[in-house]
Chain A
Amino acid sequence: MHYLTEDKAKQALRDRGLPVPDGEIAASPREAGEVARRLGGAVAIKALVATGRRGKAGAIRFAGTPAEAEVAAAAILGQTVNGHFCRAVYVERRIEIEKELYLSLILEDYPPKLLCSAEGGVEIEEVHRTRPDSVISFDVDPVRGLPSWDAVAVWERAGVEGKVLAQLGKLTADAYAHFVAADCTMLELNPVGIDTSGRPVVVGTMMATDAEDGQPAAAEAAAGRLLTERERRVIEASQNLPGGMVRYTELDGDIGLFVGGGGAGLHQHDLILAAGGRPANHTDASTVNMDKVRVLIDAILDHPHVKSLFVSWHYQQMAQIDKRVIPVIEALKARAIDPRKFPVVIRMFGPGEELARQAAASLPGIHYMPHGAPLADGVKLIVELTQKVKSAEAVQ
């Protein structure tokens, strides 16, 4: 998922002809003052971070003059808003609003939905909770699209009447056109203001696309913390080396986990916790590029808390498993790891299994599960062996 900052989201809508107030980025209080002067009159100063709930976090302020804009920008710049460091602000011409509407397009599950309410603003979830009927949900047929007359009918149901309906219908259809063209998963315009001359104007904008952005910043936002050096290495490899992706997220346990990340990876992680084990990480990988696998394995083994390694994917039906097991064995050898002291359990079945077993056999002490062994058996063994290592350490 990629979350756009307000400047980019609003420029995209402006380019498509939607009514969006003028606004510019400023990276310092002085620049914010200059932008305010150029825009003339009152402005809103908002932290330029791709996160929700900025108003409630104190990251949106209002200013009547350029001098006030400088003060407001100084208060916001350098703040951390919901885990995002604020390096710039968005300075936007302030529009007098008589009424706030809520408009959202969302594609989570099929089909896409249009949500409209005549009671927009930051309290929309509360409005929906107390009076669910005041938020209209409309299923959009992706083949038919969302013509303006469908949107007019939805706004009418939401209780909007009068001349503004026509403009709102067009605004909504235009927003939908962008929603589809830009591969958005969410486009929320909250509020859509009705200005003093009765025209709709897009005041709040949040846009998410399903582009895999793979940037460390996105991973940090998702994790709610800074990335470790090992996690950064894996992201870099995932982006720069060819063939499939690799993902690596550190946790606070001690069992190094090399799983495919699909269903079997999730299930095994659950089973490890249920058996009393604690994974040091979770992984997700689709690559058979051995260099890429090696970067991931190195990260897992370099984690200072790791006391064992569990290599267990679902039964592979298409991919060669030797290309995933051989880099593991090489990484263990390169570190002179003795699997009799640092337990290694492998449960990898499928094409290339013989080669994988040969490679594993070259390092004494590795437990390679018999062909077809249940997934839970591997889990039990790694948890048990890890526990033994820890008990032995405790005795010493």
Chain B
Amino acid sequence: MSILIDEKTTVVIQGMTGRQARLDCTNCLNYGTRIVAGVTPGRGGEEVLGVPVFNTVKAAVAEHPATASVIYVPAPAVKDAVLEALDAGIKVIVATSEGLPRQTAAYIVAAARATGATIVGPNTNGVISPGRSKLGGIGGVDPSDIYVPGRIGICSRSGGMTAELSLTVKRAGYGVSTGVAMGGDRITGRAMVEYVRMFEADEGTDAILCYGEPGSSNEAELAAHLTANGVTKPIIGIIAGLFQENYPKGVSFGHAAAMISLEADSATAKRQMLARAGVTIASSLEDIPELLRDHGVQPEEPLATSRQTVGSA
């Protein structure tokens, strides 16, 4: 099991004819991701990597039904690309673009929420359900070197840390149900707490790893949810950026930020509020396997061994 995507997920690629899109799509197709169509206005009728290209998402999904989309268009075109995907009924949209203005991000997030769709990103390298499917560049050419199938859910504000978290648990014999790089920008399609709730509801996830940084209300929202509803699966939090507190801060510009922040959004404050809400805080990646064992979460049985057991019974 997994969240967001699995082996049945069908995908359209918006902006598929670009360089980065071709590179990522080659790796995704090799991984088994079911890319059913590409979309680039003016290139309809062509084929890229053996995948048919259409002029619009609507035309693409009319012939090749799809529930997910990955967007590779430049920042100024992202808003329209998202709205087009929503208009065609797409439910999971991976918006890879960096440098999207915050106002545009807020607009597309509102538009997606209104239709019940999820935007992963912006500024993400994607989402992976190991052994089933991956959207975006996540995992690169050899995803199995980093991501192996298993029962740990990962939600990270950083694409790089999604990989490092997965490597850390892989070394200790654990695998990943789904790894989500939720997006490095301040505004993301879904908040950390929403991914945690998806993992809580996922039968294939036994424990959840969350990576956060200074800035954003993600951890405060997660803490509020856990305080109100209780912890149903072990959650291990790792919050970086402690060092920034050692250095001087500039004078604040305006009063509004000081008034709307419920608590300080430093790494220390985030660690404290999550710990109070029942999250186990890891101060280093290397502590995570031991913390998982403390929670009674066992490493995966290697597939070969479990088959043998079944065979000998």
Contact = CB atoms under 8 A, between A and B. Distances in A.
Given A317-B163, A372-B171, A375-B285, A263 B213 contact: yes
A180 interface: yes
A279 B247 CA distance: 12
Contacts of A251: 247
B164 interface: yes
B127 to A, nearest CB: 13
B138 interface: yes
Contacts of B186: 108-109
Interface in A259-282: 260, 262-264, 266-267, 269-271, 273-274, 279, 282
A185 B186 CA distance: 11
A374 B286 contact: yes
Contacts of A314: 158-161, 163-164
B137 A263 contact: no
Interface string B148-188: 00000000111111011001100100000000000010111
B171 A263 contact: no
B106 A263 contact: no
A314 B99 CA distance: 21
Given A263-B213, A314-B164, A315-B164, A188 B256 contact: yes
A204 B260 CA distance: 20
Contacts of B140: 316-318, 350-351
A241 interface: no
A52 B110 contact: no
Interface residues of A, number: 70
Contacts of A262: 158-161, 184
B242 A273 contact: yes
A273 B258 contact: no
Interface string A305-319: 000000001111110
Nearest to A104: B256
A182 B255 CA distance: 20
B125 A317 contact: yes
B240 A270 contact: yes
Interface in A176-196: 179-180, 183-186, 188, 190
A109 B217 contact: yes
A106 interface: yes
Contact of A83 (B101, B104, B250): B250
B50 interface: no
Output the residue of B104, B106, B267 with the most chain A CB within 10 A: B106
A222 interface: yes
B251 interface: yes
Given A107-B103, A375-B285, A376-B286, A315 B250 contact: no
A110 B257 contact: no
Given A224-B250, A263-B213, A318 B103 contact: no
A281 to B, nearest CB: 12
Interface stretch (A31-39, A134-142, A334-342): A134-142
Contacts of A210: 101-103
Given A266-B241, A267-B238, A315-B164, A208 B254 contact: yes
Interface stretch (A17-25, A111-119, A325-333, A360-368): A111-119
A295 interface: no
Interface in A124-158: 124-125, 128, 135, 137, 141-143
A124 B163 contact: no
Nearest to B166: A315
Contacts of B216: 108-109
A374 B240 contact: no
B244 to A, nearest CB: 8
A179 B103 CA distance: 9
A110 B185 CA distance: 11
Interface string A272-302: 0110000100100010000000000000000
A186 B251 contact: no
A102 B256 CA distance: 10
Contact of A108 (B125, B167, B257): B257
B164 A264 contact: yes
Contact of B284 (A111, A180, A266, A271): A271
Contacts of B138: 317
B252 interface: yes
Interface string B111-146: 100100000000001000000000001111100011
Interface of A: 3, 50-53, 82-83, 102, 104-113, 115, 124-125, 128, 135, 137, 141-143, 179-180, 183-186, 188, 190, 206, 208, 210, 212, 221-224, 251, 260, 262-264, 266-267, 269-271, 273-274, 279, 282, 286, 313-318, 350-351, 372, 374-376
10 contacts: A53-B251, A110-B109, A141-B110, A224-B250, A262-B158, A263-B156, A266-B241, A286-B98, A317-B140, A318-B137
Given A263-B160, A266-B213, A374-B168, 20 more contacts: A51-B251, A53-B251, A109-B187, A115-B256, A142-B110, A185-B102, A188-B254, A188-B256, A206-B254, A208-B254, A210-B101, A263-B211, A264-B164, A267-B240, A286-B98, A313-B160, A315-B146, A318-B125, A350-B140, A351-B140
What are the 7 closest A-B residue pairs judged by CB atoms, nearest first? A263-B158, A314-B160, A317-B140, A263-B161, A266-B240, A104-B256, A267-B240
